[in-house]
Copies of this chain bind each other. A is one copy, B any other.
Amino acid sequence: MPKESKIPNPTIKRLAVYSRPLEILLESKLPVISSEKLAGLCGVNPAQVRKDLAYFGEFGIRGVGYDVRHLLNAIKGILATDREWALCLVGIGHLGSSLVQSENFKKRGYIVKAAFDSDARKVGKKLACGLTIQSASCISQTVRKLGIEIGLITTPPHEAQRAAHLLQEGGIGAILNFTTIQIRARKKCFVENADLSVKFENLVYHLEQLDKI
């Protein structure tokens, strides 16, 4: 295995994309897939697939293809998705509620251990998943006590930085920020932004461009 810190971020993101059709192929009991077919299923070109996978050693057999089970397990090992991760959510509005209830995340090993909100009317309410909404003032303590590793922020924008601060006080390792605000974090905490409205703006820009053709 090479020095993983040198692997470019786009490669890491594509590995997750490659794993999706591999999961389906494994369920369908297909043992082998060519880089051309895998690339086709993922909407990238075959050379890219080969280049990305080459970072991690030799998975393919020339003229035959990749062993589906072997490749999927290797990707899961690289991405560290072969284990469970403890999550919490801050901000239980529409989006927060839907994420707490996501069967897709649960199936992938992302287990929501706690849910927080700063609205006193929500605190104490029981969610369908069995968790009780806790006050945002308990964030640091609960994160530390339960060993929560990832925090999702789905608060209104003006509450996001405070939520990030409390999560870090509890020793959280990573934050997925769904708000429209960029949050500041310490070096030891990895932050990924998932502001969906940015996706929309990219989309409508391209729509305008298509109209002009």
Q: A residues bordering B, Cβ < 8 Å? A: 4-5, 9, 12-13, 15-17, 19-21, 41-43, 78-81, 85, 93-95, 97-99, 101-102, 104-105, 108, 110, 149-150, 157, 173-174, 176, 180-182, 184, 188, 190, 192-211
> Can you list the 10 inter-chain pairs with the closest CB atoms, starting with the nearest?
A94-B98, A16-B201, A98-B98, A80-B208, A16-B198, A190-B206, A43-B182, A94-B101, A20-B180, A173-B207
Chain B residue contacts of A19, Cβ below 8 A: 201
Chain B residue contacts of A176, Cβ below 8 A: 199-200, 203
Q: Could you tell me if A81 and B201 are in contact, using CB atoms closer than 8 angstroms?
A: yes
Further 11 A-B residue pairs, CB within 8 A, beyond A19-B201, A20-B181? A4-B209, A12-B202, A12-B205, A16-B201, A42-B182, A97-B98, A105-B197, A150-B204, A150-B207, A174-B207, A190-B203
Identify which of B85, B157, B188, B207 contacts A80 (C-beta below 8 A): B207
In the assembled complex, the Cα of A80 lies from the Cα of B211 at a distance in Å of 12
Min CB distance, A99 to chain B, in Å? 8
Min CB distance, A91 to chain B, in Å? 12
Chain B residue contacts of A192, Cβ below 8 A: 199, 202-203, 206
In the assembled complex, the Cα of A20 lies from the Cα of B183 at a distance in Å of 12
In the assembled complex, the Cα of A200 lies from the Cα of B9 at a distance in Å of 13
Q: Could you tell me if B41 and A202 are in contact, using CB atoms closer than 8 angstroms?
A: no
In the assembled complex, the Cα of A98 lies from the Cα of B196 at a distance in Å of 12
Q: Could you tell me if B98 and A150 are in contact, using CB atoms closer than 8 angstroms?
A: no
Chain B residue contacts of A174, Cβ below 8 A: 203-204, 206-207, 210
Closest B residue, CB atoms, query A78: B205
- Give the residue among A194, A195, A202, A208 with the most B Cβ atoms within 10 A: A202
In the assembled complex, the Cα of A32 lies from the Cα of B210 at a distance in Å of 34
Chain B residue contacts of A110, Cβ below 8 A: 197, 200
In the assembled complex, the Cα of A95 lies from the Cα of B193 at a distance in Å of 18
Min CB distance, A201 to chain B, in Å? 4
In the assembled complex, the Cα of A53 lies from the Cα of B97 at a distance in Å of 37
In the assembled complex, the Cα of A198 lies from the Cα of B23 at a distance in Å of 14
